[in-house]
Chain A
């Protein structure tokens, strides 16, 4: 690689920095080669390493400017030592390079640590978002289920209540009608057929009323407590299962 190739490659590598900075850096290295003289061209290229390395140094200089880390006790770090391409002949390099690399690796480890922490935080956030997203349909489902159960329970109670009311009304109506018709039959002496029919119907009504009375008494005494007991049992079962799930 000669000087022109080196500078061309460097220019291409610096495509993403501002034109002013790029031109400034290229001007510097053009000057540098000129001042070194053609006889030193190969040495300068060898000393600079690769265009990639020089480009990295320039970029690090630009973006590392506000980085307070550069002023830490770890000392000045040549950011490019990891791809050290400097010749073996450069002076007193070995120990210096090693200590610089130590600083570098520490920095890298710190960076890794930071990245890991960031990743952990983002993971937690992701999990929380997923939980919220999942909670919406699950919560909706649970609310719907609870509503359905409540509705069913209310409907059940309503049916029982209606049945009891019906039985009680039938009891009252049956007995009243039966007694009324039996009484009425006494005043139908003029037409015994009619009187007998009315009395018979009255007895029938009385029988229906008594039947309903018996049903009502049984319903109030046994059926309703049994139903309540059953519901209580059902709820206890549901809750105990819920407790076990949690």
Chain B
């Protein structure tokens, strides 16, 4: 991957990945899912999840799984709004980039 992933885009991807499961999902799975999309190291995701949680975009809850507590992450209303904003922005941004890269824009 030669394109850097900005912090906002990484946030957007994480929010999108978490939002796929209405009941929420857990750290390991989020990491694996994100890593299928972009190349980030495994240690990258924890600070992002923690920040999104502090920004009230994600909420956490513990649920028993296999005899232990597992921490789940779930989108808040605010997180949902943020994700929608990211999606709208991305559409504009990626549309412009695609246009110019594919030579469909007459400057």
Name which of A30-38, A144-152, A183-191, A229-237 contacts chain B.
A30-38
Q: Chain B, 33-71, contact with A by CB distance < 8 Å: what is the 0/1 string?
A: 000000111111011111100100000000000101011
**Chain B neighbourhood of A139, CB < 8 A:** none
Name the distance in Å between B45's Cβ and chain A's nearest Cβ: 9
**CA A96 to CA B104, docked complex, whole Å:** 28
Please classify the interface of chain A as helix (H, G, I), strand (E, B), loop, or mixed, using the class held by over half of its residues: helix
Which residue of the partner chain A has the closest CB to B29?
A: A35
Q: B-side interface residues toward A, CB under 8 Å?
A: 1-10, 26-29, 31, 39-44, 46-51, 54, 66, 68, 70-71
Contacts A44-B42, A47-B41 known; 18 new A-B pairs at CB < 8 A = A24-B50, A29-B46, A31-B27, A47-B42, A48-B41, A49-B41, A49-B43, A54-B43, A57-B43, A57-B44, A57-B47, A58-B47, A61-B51, A65-B51, A65-B54, A73-B6, A75-B4, A91-B39
Chain A: interface residue total (CB-CB under 8 A) = 42
Which residue of the partner chain B has the closest CB to A44?
A: B42
| Given known A-B contacts A35-B27, A48-B42, A61 and B48 have beta carbons under 8 A apart | yes
Flag if B6 contacts A71 (CB, 8 Å).
Answer: yes
Which residue of the partner chain A has the closest CB to B42?
A: A47
Flag if A35 contacts B26 (CB, 8 Å).
Answer: yes
Which residue of the partner chain A has the closest CB to B31?
A: A32
Flag if A57 contacts B46 (CB, 8 Å).
Answer: yes
Which residue of the partner chain B has the closest CB to A60?
A: B47
